[in-house]
Every structure is written in C-alpha cells, then in structure tokens.
Amino acid sequence: MIRLKDIVKIYNKGKSNAYEALHGISLEIRDGEMTAIIGTSGAGKSTLLHILACIDGYDSGEYIIDGGEVGKISERQMAQVRNEKIGMVMQDFALVEGFTALDNVMIPLDFASRKHRRNRKERRKKALEMLELMGMAEYAQKQTNNLSGGQKQRVAIARAIVNDPAIILADEPTGALDSATTKEIMKVFRNLNKQGRTIIIVTHDPAVAEECGRVIRIEDGRIV
C-alpha cells in the first residue's frame, strides 16, 4: 500500500537556516495494517505524516502509494489522491463549526473528481450511512460546535471514510480527548481496521500505540 525509500525533507533549503527534518526515511506499510508512528515532539513524525498525506513534498527519495509514485504526479493529481485515497483525522477535529455534522461529512464528496461525483441525494445518503456507522446518525442535523469532543471526532472519522479511502491517516486523534473517550475512539479505529482499512496513527501516547498492530518509532528524523 505504502512504500517510502530514502525520504529526505529539508526546510528552508539553500538558506543559512536550512534544517533537515527527515534523514533518509524508509518504510513499508501493507494493505490492511494498523500502524502507529510514535515519537516525541520535534522527532519528525508530523513532517512524515504530511508527506504520507500528500500535503507536503520531499526533497529526495521515493514515495509509492497504491502503486503510483507521488513525486511524479501534478499538484492537481496530488489533490485527487488526498481526497479519494486518503482520509485525514486531526487532533483538533478540523470541522467547519457553523456546519451540521451531515454537512461536514459531505465535504469530501462535494470535492470528488467528476468520475467519482454523486448527485446531492446520493451524497447525502452516503454521508448519513457514515454517521450511522459512527453511531452519530441522530446528530446529523446538529451543528458541530454543539457536540462533545468525542462526538466531534466521530464526525471527523465519518468524514475521513466517506470517500472509501484506501488509507486513514490520524494525527494525534485522541490528543484532545479524556481517557474514557480515547478508548472509545480507538475502538472505532480497531473496528475500521477489522473491515480491512489501512490505518496509520501518529501519536506520542504509548497507550494509543499499543492498540495498533505495529509500532514505528521515529527520533531526530530517523526510524529507530
């Protein structure tokens, strides 16, 4: 599913304050794995996540996702990969607070490429199905600013999976949640993984990492 080979990322390249954040990262993540990437603040895990999510580029190396090399596609194609092959879950939920839960889940469907686009009725039905899967169907018409942290994260996960992505990337998905809600959200991820979804969770929390089938530790921009 994912293969990185000798990935190097340099910030402020060519300047006096140039900084190499990743030093030749190589790893493979197979289809259907649930993997944690763990490390302290500043270790490079967020930089790695942004590259995996096709949000940020890299300076050298090779990144293969689902058989295609990311470094050889256009920005427009990269946006398509982000929307259709990757589902993102963030620590701060990244929901549109003035929107309802249903409206938030429909956003990726609204931006799908022409060949994947559905009419509004179909988009609404699909979004409702995802909310139901997350146990959030009864909150579909509720504005997200009126939801609890755990409810917001369930809506965010529903949005992440609404386009049936090959990969779910989660950046500290339990960082803003209490311990009981963290257990609930990790149970959601495990259930999604049992359905065959590839899940990568970036975290600094060893307890969250232990819930995953595999742990990759990163320190000072290197896998250790």
pLDDT of residue 183: 92
- Residue 118 scores a pLDDT above 80: no
* 39-48, 117-126, 199-208: segment of lowest average pLDDT: 117-126
For residue 22, give the DSSP letter. Answer: E
- From CA 192, how far away is CA 190, in angstroms rounded? 5
Delimit the domains of the chain by residue range. Answer: 2-223
**Closest to 154 (Cα-Cα) out of 163, 121, 138, 75:** 138
Task: Inform me whether the pLDDT recorded for 113 exceeds 80.
Answer: no
pLDDT of residue 52: 94
When pLDDT is averaged across residues 5-11 and rounded to a whole number, the result is 96
The neighbouring-strand residues paired with 199 are 34, 168
Is 60 exceeded by the pLDDT of residue 115? no
Residue 110 above 90 pLDDT? Answer: no
End-to-end CA distance of the chain: 22
Q: What is the pLDDT of residues 182-214, one digit of tens each?
A: 999 999 999 999 999 999 999 989 999 999 999
- pLDDT the model gives residue 49: 92
Main-chain dihedrals φ then ψ at residue 205, nearest 5 degrees:
-95, 110
Average confidence (pLDDT) over 56-68: 90
- Can you give the pLDDT at residue 116? 54
Q: What percent of the chain has pLDDT over 70?
A: 97
- 121 vs 72, more confident: 121
Q: Which CATH code for domain 2-223?
A: 3.40.50.300
Q: Which residues pair with 69 in a beta bridge?
A: 64
Q: What is the mean pLDDT of residues 150-166?
A: 93
pTM of the model: 0.89
